[in-house]
Amino acid sequence: MSAYFGYFDRPFWSGRQLMLAILFAIIGAIAWWQLKTPDEDAGAHRTRPRLPDYVVDRFSAVETNDSGRPIRHLKAIELRHYATENVSELDQPRLELYQIKGPSWHAKADRGTIYADGDQIRLEGNVELNRAGDDENRPAHFETERLDIWRKQGLAETDLEVRVNSDGDVLTANGMRLWYNEPTRTTFHGRARIRLAPESDPEQDPSP
């Protein structure tokens, strides 16, 4: 006597079961896509490049006062303006600050940023500020890594280390504020250190 069990002869998936499996797979794919898409969109938004609305090559601008007298001259290899941030970035800026009398101040840096509709200019990277000497003032050479120049106040300031050289005398401090319009005055922050240049010996009288 023999018995026949035909369980394994029937298809493992019936037509109805196969359709249900496909339907569940489609629903799962749609749910995954809906969950994944916002993250991908957000990632694309985060990586969107920061682009200027205009670029000026070999930028040069002279600013005058109400009477038409030049008060400063700003130049840069390139200027990039960002309207949404209301700032302009500068490559290798050069700034001349004219004085009513006496030598002008000359500033230069690796890069710069113009804020507040031009009232504040920030210079960064190998910043130098120089003024030649005259009958009333000694020459001055300032070095720092960041310098903010405020037009309305006639002020140049930094909270980083600054080094000042004047006729061989060297002063270093942790920051400074320089009012560059006449009369010029300067305050230094933190611990200031000064090294005076040695006085040269008077010439010896060659006569016996």
pLDDT in tens, 124-157: 999 999 999 988 889 999 999 999 999 999 999 9
pTM of the model: 0.72
Query: Ramachandran region of residue 102, left (φ > 0), alpha (ψ -120 to 50) or beta?
Result: left
How far is the C-alpha of 92 from the C-alpha of 112, rounded, in Å? 7
Say if CB 128 and CB 158 are below 8 A apart: no
Say if CB 36 and CB 48 are below 8 A apart: no
As a whole number, mean pLDDT of residues 185-208 equals 76
Average pLDDT taken over every residue of the chain? 83
pLDDT in tens, 14-60: 566 656 666 666 666 565 566 555 555 555 556 678 899 999 999 99
- The amino acid at 181: N
Lowest average pLDDT, out of 5-14, 29-38, 168-177, goes to: 5-14
Report helix, strand or coil for 94. Answer: strand
DSSP code at position 12: S
Length of the chain equals: 208
As a whole number, mean pLDDT of residues 145-174 equals 96
So what's the pLDDT on residue 49? 84
How far is the C-alpha of 208 from the C-alpha of 200, rounded, in Å? 22
So what's the pLDDT on residue 50? 84
How far is the C-alpha of 90 from the C-alpha of 58, rounded, in Å? 10
Say if CB 83 and CB 117 are below 8 A apart: no
Query: In angstroms, how far apart are the furthest CA atoms of the chain?
Result: 150
So what's the pLDDT on residue 117? 83
CA dihedral 50, 118, 159, 101 (to 10 degrees): 150
DSSP code at position 204: P
- Give the CB-side neighbour count of residue 205, counting CA atoms within 13 A: 2
Report helix, strand or coil for 192. Answer: coil
By the 10 Å C-beta count (0-12 exposed, 13-18 middle, 19+ buried), 33 is classed as exposed
So what's the pLDDT on residue 3? 41
